[in-house]
Amino acid sequence: MISALGVVIPVHGAIEPVLPLLDALLGEGVPDADRPAQVVVVDDASPHPVDAARLPEGVEFVRREVNGGFGAAVNTGIDHLTTPLALVLNSDLEIPPGFARTLVEHAAPWQPAVVGCRNADHSGRSGYAARVFPTTAHQVVEWLVPLAGLRHLDLLHRAVGHDMRAERGHGMVPVDWVSGAVMLLPVAQVRAIGGFDEGYFMYTEEVDLQKRLRGQGIPSLYDTDLTVLHVGGASSGGELRRRRWLVGARMRYARKHRSVVALRLGLTAASAVNLVWQTGRRLAGRDVDPLGAAREELSLIWTAGRDLPR
């Protein structure tokens, strides 16, 4: 048993897609040496409550009465841990045999630290789980529709904040932040800064957490020798709602750590470029709605996140 490790898996929705992950952690074929000391599943007020009887033996189950989003669910799970390390896993992951034990062993010389690893989809495409702290320039470049077809280029990857040095690195690579799909966290240090900021409902909460931990001298590292399969988007809902959560979260992060005014102005300028680009495509016969897209973008820029706690 990995005595130092507790696993936290937030869930919002059906439990069936999560069962293979739980089986990979605690199933009959898993050696004792690969089993975490605790596995906590947090039902974040799913519309149809998770049936705890469906969970494998050894899983601790907690149901939240209010859907607070990813960070709130992880905080709830960490509150139930008695271990010094917490491994946060998205519910839609597929992990290789011995994953938890290997990650803890690789991270041991660096502790206390936040540690993540590579993730990829079933086609082998990278999720670029290692990134640099976001800037206004990163998010403006990402907002520009004319550049969408060029995002396979290294220049564009770097321009939106992907850490390509880590992506092509070996061993444990220090980075600014790692994706929340897989995060090994030092529990005492996370609790000391108040855990995840629950003002983020979805997206950017792991960036904010690692930014605050960095201020306390806690590094983030990327384990390039481990890879998980990540489907992604399991609980995001429709695209417009997903974008509203994302933009709202970025506004909150900018308000806390940079300048929300600069971000709104930069994205507005990018939307003006998008309008000109889409108008040209419309004149060329493409089935696009330049004004409709511009209205949607501007609504997101100037209203998303205003209803979130400050």
Helices (H), 82-217: 99-107, 136-143, 154-159, 164-167, 187-192, 205-215
Count other C-beta atoms under 10 Å from residue 240's C-beta.
11
pLDDT, tens only, 90-121:
999 999 999 999 999 999 999 999 999 999 99
β-pair partners for 269: none
C-alpha distance across the termini of the chain, in Å: 41
Q: Could you give the CA distance from residue 199 to residue 290 in angstroms, rounded to a whole number?
A: 33
Helix (H) or strand (E) holding 274, with range, is helix 260-283
Which residues in the chain show pLDDT less than 50? Answer: 234, 310
CB 208 within 8 A of CB 251: no
Query: At 60, is the secondary structure helix, strand, or coil?
Result: strand
Query: At 113, is the secondary structure helix, strand, or coil?
Result: coil
Instruction: Supply the pLDDT for residue 101.
Output: 98
> Which 8-state DSSP code applies to residue 133?
P
Q: Could you give the CA distance from residue 45 to residue 189 in angstroms, rounded to a whole number?
A: 27
Instruction: Supply the pLDDT for residue 241.
Output: 87
Portion of the chain with pLDDT greater than 70, in percent: 96
Quote the tokens at residue 253. 């992060």
> Which 8-state DSSP code applies to residue 128?
-
Q: In which residue are the tokens 């004149």 written?
A: 283
pTM score? 0.94
Q: Could you give the CA distance from residue 142 to residue 157 in angstroms, rounded to a whole number?
A: 10
Instruction: Supply the pLDDT for residue 41.
Output: 98
CB 221 within 8 A of CB 115: yes
Domains located in the chain, CATH noted: 2-128+163-230 (3.90.550.10), 139-160+236-310 (no CATH)
Q: In which residue are the tokens 């709830």 written?
A: 76
Q: Could you give the CA distance from residue 301 to residue 265 in angstroms, rounded to a whole number?
A: 9
Q: What's the chain's average pLDDT?
A: 94
Quote the tokens at residue 11. 């869930």
Count other C-beta atoms under 10 Å from residue 139's C-beta.
20
Instruction: Supply the pLDDT for residue 237.
Output: 56
Cα–Cα distance list, 250 to 22, 118, 135, 219 (Å): 32, 23, 10, 22
